[in-house]
Structure 1
């Protein structure tokens, strides 16, 4: 189930400007909106004691199953790789789950492509090599991401690519027959409900290459 339009409009006013972790009592200031998706929004937040900054995914609990949110957190906790967005911690209140992650300047590969209009082949190789490295690691850990796209590939200040947004990721098991992901990146076996696995991520990787090189134009 996705967040309704009224809920999206209300979320910013409902998320506190000063957020307090009920367990540690640490306080965080809510800064600018970094992005939003079907199940929530992502804000920059600052630890008011240390000045550390985070990208914080805010998910309304009653609009997205608690089980799915907890699964995303558990997956993020197990992943430690230079090309995967780092997980810090999480907590919840009576309305939202807050997932604190590495801040990547709020910039995605999609943002870079939109601003630049085109990337050179050496630049595309540079980013794709990192994407392959991150995906290989994710698959070896027994997960499939299921939503690889330009908007989920974040770039940090060192111009390193980080795979993010694991909201649709699942543990590998008997082949999934659920239709999920972003249509233009979706492998045929996904939308045909034939069952899919890590190959669906590889198909999406190919779509990323085509988009960056503008081969379809």
Structure 2
């Protein structure tokens, strides 16, 4: 069992003024950021694995609070959110680095995501960070990770960096610590479905639901994270976006995304948690080069969770397979229908328990999955 740090709920955070996105390299009001930020003097070991993407003292030389695997790069104090102290780097993602920061005036802790443009790159990852803020700053649901502030850095009239201040979640992803108790799995996915339903009621889809984007805290709270690919319901994307093991057919075909798109991603995620195997999607790996390619062949003869583990209730197995139906019209209409089906599954499990049956454990053995990150088990995010 990985170690969990203490979870700080959203309700306990006092962030002062309403969330806002600030343009330019410094704030338009408030203290001078060069005086408002103090970097930790201690150098912390960077014990995070080498990952994909991304990359003192105040008022002078800036010493990063962690050890780089390569040559150290200076942190530009004027570019960081004012009034916050960097504690440590806690993760990396697609062109982003995530830090734990402390608000100097209150001592409250947050996560700060920095997305920095690499040479010769377009705005894609910067736009995703802005989209994440645009969506998650509106959240008021316990299962959705909230954003509080946004800061844009421009140089020579060009956007170079986006910084998003986020709720700090001390937990571990389903990818890093796959649940094995069936009752607990159902409870987790009830919380996920409830969060996605709230997101849909706001008019957005997540569009990248996967085990890596579900965090579980030591108190048992469930948090959906990473809304960089979120978009309005009905939006048609110009490129294929998603994670190969969980991507819906309409995402591959670049059709409009709907609630049923998240239903598919949700079902594929639940399929992996139950079986330890990736649900076959329209994106497959080339046998020779290992590159993802589109497979237009209809998916047939996919084993159900109950085929792979007979103890899984038929109602749960059918729910998963219906969520992963090829055509959106064949899936549950929305997360409310998914929640209704999961409620039936909970009643089945309760009856089994009342009859004296032992709790069902799924196998801890699973296939390696797409979309991994560089957070250690039990890490903050």
TM-score, scaled to structure 1: 0.81
Structure 1 residue aligned with 2:203: 142
Q: Is the 8 A contact 2:131 2:227 kept in 1?
A: no
Structure 1 residue aligned with 2:100: 44
Pick one of 138, 141, 161 that aligns with 1:96.
161
Tell me, yes or no, if structure 1 residue 31 matches structure 2 residue 88.
Answer: yes
- Larger mean CA deviation between 47-56 and 199-208 belongs to 47-56
Secondary structure of 2:270's match? helix
Structure 2 residue aligned with 1:69: 129
- Larger mean CA deviation between 123-132 and 4-13 belongs to 4-13
- Larger mean CA deviation between 11-20 and 189-198 belongs to 11-20
CA distances 1:165-200 after superposition (whole Å, capped 9, x unpaired):
111111123544641110100012221334432212
Once the two structures are TM-superposed, the CA of residue 158 in structure 1 deviates from its matched residue by 2.2
Gaps of 5+ in 1: none
Structure 2 residue aligned with 1:56: 112
Once the two structures are TM-superposed, the CA of residue 56 in structure 1 deviates from its matched residue by 1.6
**Where is the strand percentage greater, Structure 1 or Structure 2?**
1
Q: Is the 8 A contact 1:20 1:26 kept in 2?
A: no
Structure 1 residue aligned with 2:194: 133
How many corresponding residue pairs?
Answer: 206
Pick one of 273, 288, 309 that aligns with 1:212.
273
Structure 1 residue aligned with 2:359: none
Cα distance, 1:73–1:10 mapped onto 2, change above 3 Å? farther
Which structure has the larger Rg? 2
User: Residues 63-212 of structure 1: matches in 2 within 5 Å?
Assistant: 63=121, 64-65=123-124, 66-94=126-154, 95-113=160-178, 118-176=179-237, 178-212=239-273
Higher RCO, Cα 8 Å, sep 6+: 2
CA distance, structure 2, for counterparts of residue 211 and residue 15 of structure 1 = 40
Once the two structures are TM-superposed, the CA of residue 134 in structure 1 deviates from its matched residue by 0.3
Cα distance, 1:14–1:58 mapped onto 2, change above 3 Å? farther
**Where is the helix percentage greater, Structure 1 or Structure 2?**
1
Gaps of 5+ in 2: 1-50, 56-68, 155-159, 278-365, 367-381
CA distance, structure 2, for counterparts of residue 159 and residue 54 of structure 1 = 20
TM-score, scaled to structure 2: 0.48
